[in-house]
C-alpha cells in the first residue's frame, strides 16, 4: 500500500464498498477528503487527539467551502443539462477534473499538516472516523473502517 496520502486515497477508494460508503457520507454532509485523511492516519497508527482534529477541521474548512464545494456544486448543477448538450458536457468534465485537482491539493495540504505527527503508536481507525466523518451513517463509517483494517492483513 502506498505511503503518500494521494496514492493511498486512490487505492483505498477503489476497494470494494468504499466508493458507495464515501458517497453516502458525502450526501449526509461529511467531508470525504477529511474522512479519507482520517482513514490514512488510522492506518498509519497516528493517535487521534482533539488538537489534531481541530487542526484538520481548520485546515480543510476554508478550502472545502471556497474551492471544492463550489466546483462540486457547479458540476452537480450541470448534470441534467449536460446530458443533452455536448458542449456543456465537455465543460462539466473539465469542472470535474478541476474538482479532483482541488481535492488532491487539499489532501497534499493535510499530509503536510501531519508530517511531524508520530505514527506507529496506536491504531484508532474508529476514533478518527468518528471525529472526522461525524456520526452520520454508522454503516458507511464501518465499511471504511473494515476496508482499512484489511490493509494490515
% of the chain residues with pLDDT over 70: 97
For residue 73, give the nearest of 89, 101, 96 by alpha carbon: 96
pLDDT band, very low/low/confident/very high, at 10 (cuts 50, 70, 90): very high
Q: Could you read off the pLDDT of 59-100 as tens digits, one per residue?
A: 999 999 999 999 999 999 999 999 999 999 999 999 999 999
pLDDT band, very low/low/confident/very high, at 152 (cuts 50, 70, 90): low
Say if residues 61 and 88 touch (Cβ distance below 8 Å). no
Q: What is the average pLDDT value for the chain, to the nearest integer? A: 92
Assigned C-alpha cell, 119: 505514527
DSSP 3: S
Helix (H) or strand (E) holding 91: helix 86-113
In DSSP notation, 28-74 reads: TT--HHHHHHHHHHHHTTPPP-HHHHHHHHHHHHHHIIIIIHHHHHH
Say if residues 129 and 141 touch (Cβ distance below 8 Å). yes
Amino acid at each position: 500500500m502506498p505511503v503518500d496520502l494521494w496514492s493511498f486515497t486512490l487505492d483505498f477508494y477503489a476497494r470494494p464498498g468504499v466508493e458507495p460508503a464515501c458517497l453516502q457520507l458525502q450526501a449526509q454532509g461529511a467531508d470525504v477528503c477529511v474522512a479519507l485523511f482520517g482513514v490514512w492516519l488510522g492506518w498509519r497508527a497516528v493517535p487521534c487527539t482533539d488538537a489534531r482534529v481541530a487542526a484538520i477541521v481548520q485546515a480543510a474548512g476554508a478550502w472545502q467551502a471556497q474551492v471544492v464545494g463550489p466546483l462540486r456544486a457547479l458540476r452537480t448543477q450541470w448534470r441534467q443539462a449536460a446530458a443533452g448538450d455536448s458542449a456543456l458536457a465537455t465543460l462539466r468534465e473539465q469542472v470535474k477534473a478541476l474538482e479532483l485537482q482541488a481535492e488532491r491539493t487539499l489532501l497534499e495540504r493535510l499530509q503536510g499538516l501531519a508530517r511531524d505527527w508520530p505514527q506507529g503508536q496506536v491504531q484508532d481507525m474508529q476514533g478518527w472516523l468518528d471525529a472526522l466523518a461525524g456520526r452520520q451513517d454508522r454503516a458507511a463509517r464501518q465499511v471504511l473502517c473494515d476496508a482499512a483494517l484489511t490493509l494490515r492483513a
